[in-house]
Structures are given as structure tokens and as C-alpha cells.
Amino acid sequence: MRRGLIGTISNYKGGTGKTITAVNLSAALAIKKKKVLLIDNDPQSDSTRSLVKGPAIIRSCMYDLLNVDEEDKIPVEDCIYPTIQDNLDIIPNIPETSGHEIPLAQDFPGSNATLKKAVYEYAVSNYDYIFIDCPPTLSVFVANALFCSDVVIIPMTAGSGNSLEGIKGVMDLMLSMKEQNNNLKEFKILINKIDRRKSAHKANISNAQMRFGEENIFNSTIPTSSDFETVEAIKQTTIFNYATRSKGANAFRNLAKEFLNLFENRN
């Protein structure tokens, strides 16, 4: 029986488009009739605000799943909510989850398995694809995500040389986690906020290709667009709901197609 594939979306530099990628790649695959689960692993909860329906009251969420002090764990099914997009569910987060970072760190490295123990079996048995949206850190939250993932998607901002260093940081953590997770085999870099007219963007892309290998970079790229800023601001929407014919929406359609070509038959 085919199991679902789990992808962590991470870069420890902020502003690289992690949540934009998580929300819109998930939505693009869901539109293609894939059953998708997005795990909001960032206490800032941006994915949650983008996707959770209307006035839904979040009763159980990542706060409960990552609570190392709780003896009777809440079933993961109680933490899964429908979203504004058919075929896409979410495990939401709340800011209070940041308070779990110290207890998880104190229980390191055993705490690396906390998320996997809570969600893995149910998620891979009930969904085609599971994405984990991570905070802009190299924290225990990211380690938990990598511990149960098959692939890492690392967004980089085309105009920022700093995001290249963020890639290196995630790769170093990924390599250390591979000793504990044999399924974690590869990474793919996604170039975000690209404007090919700008020489700095071209230089950073060339640098990424030389440092990390062209084979590890998606051919699909995501353009710079004010539409994404608007989508983030108004919440409860995706690029497909807000601007379905836009360059941004087409870019995520292309990314979803490339993603499926790469990973559809891996498991």
C-alpha cells in the first residue's frame, strides 16, 4: 500500500516565502484532487490564518500534539480541520505553542520524535501528501519536522544572498537528522520572489546552482508579485481564490506539476 509523502518546508532566514509556498503548493495539489494535509509547525500560525475556515474555533492543535508533559495524548484526528480548499486539511497552530520549545529542548534528542509519534501513522495512511510549514529558525520544532520527513523544500529569495546561508543551515541540520531518519533522502530548493530582469537575482540563482547543484533546484520558480502580499494580508484565501489567472497562480500550478513528476511514484 502506498503511503503519503511528507515534506518539510524550511529556511531559517525569514521572508523567504515558506508559508506562501506551504499554503499555495498544498492548495495546488489539492486542486489536482490529491488529498493533502498541511501541518502548521510555526507558532506564528500564518498558515492557520490563511486556511482555517471562517470563525472556526480551534479546540485542539499543535499545542496539544507537542506537549511533552501530557500523559494522555490527544488523538491527531481531533487536531485536524478542513480548510477553505477542498481536499486540503490542516493541523493548526497557536502562538502559545512557542512555550513548548524549552521543554522539548530539555528532552533533546528524545524529543525529536514527538511530532512523528503524534501524527506519522495517521497522516501517511490517510493523505497523499503532507507538508510541514516551519518557523524561520533551526529550532527543535524544525528538528521534529525533519525527523518524520522524506524530503525538504527550501525556499530562497532570488534577491537575497542571505537566504543562501539559510539553505546551508537547513542542509546541515538535515544531514544530522538523516542518521535518525532513513527516509530523509533529498532536498529541493525553490526560488521565490524572482525578477529575471535584475542582475542581483541572476547572480544569486547562479550562486545557488554552483553551491548546491542544479539538480537540487526546482525548474519552476515563483515570481515577485503584489498579489501574494495581498493574499497574506486578507487571510482565509490562497492565490487561486484571489487571483486565479495571475502569474503567481500559474507558477504554483507549474510547481505542483513538477512536484508530482518528481515524487508521485516514490512510495
Nearest alpha carbon to residue 41 among 85, 8, 76, 4: 8
Task: Please compute, for residue 212, the number of CA atoms within 13 A of its CA located in the half-sphere on the CB side.
Answer: 26
Q: Average pLDDT, stretch 8-24? A: 91
Ranked by mean pLDDT, the top range of 144-148, 182-186, 208-212, 241-245 is: 144-148
pTM of the model: 0.94
CB 151 within 8 A of CB 185: yes
- Residue 12 pLDDT exceeds 90: no
User: Going edge to edge, which strands form the sheet with 36-40?
Assistant: 81-82, 88-91, 36-40, 129-133, 5-9, 151-157, 186-194, 217-223
Instruction: Kindly report, residue by residue over 109-132, the tens digit of the pLDDT.
Output: 888 999 999 999 999 999 999 999
Q: Average pLDDT, stretch 227-246? A: 85
Residue 110 has a pLDDT of: 86
CB 203 within 8 A of CB 211: no
**Rounded CA separation 53/19 (Å):** 17
Residue 266 has a pLDDT of: 66
Q: Average pLDDT, stretch 38-66? A: 91
**Rounded CA separation 18/8 (Å):** 10
3-class SS of residue 121: helix
3-class SS of residue 83: strand
Nearest alpha carbon to residue 162 among 5, 13, 8, 6: 13
- Residue 267 pLDDT exceeds 70: no
Q: Average pLDDT, stretch 25-49? A: 97
CATH code: domain 5-263 is 3.40.50.300
Domain ranges of the chain: 5-263
Residue 84 has a pLDDT of: 93
Instruction: Kindly report, residue by residue over 194-231, the tens digit of the pLDDT.
Output: 877 788 788 888 888 999 999 999 999 998 888 888 88
- Cβ-based neighbours of 42, under 8 Å, separated by 6 or more: 18, 19, 93, 133, 134, 135, 141
Residue 81 has a pLDDT of: 96
Bond preceding residue 82 cis, omega within 30 of 0: no
Instruction: Kindly report, residue by residue over 180-201, the tens digit of the pLDDT.
Output: 898 898 999 999 988 777 887 8
CA-based end-to-end distance of the chain: 9
C-alpha Rg value of the chain to the nearest Å: 17
Residue 167 has a pLDDT of: 87
**Rounded CA separation 16/190 (Å):** 10
Residue 216 has a pLDDT of: 94
3-class SS of residue 120: helix
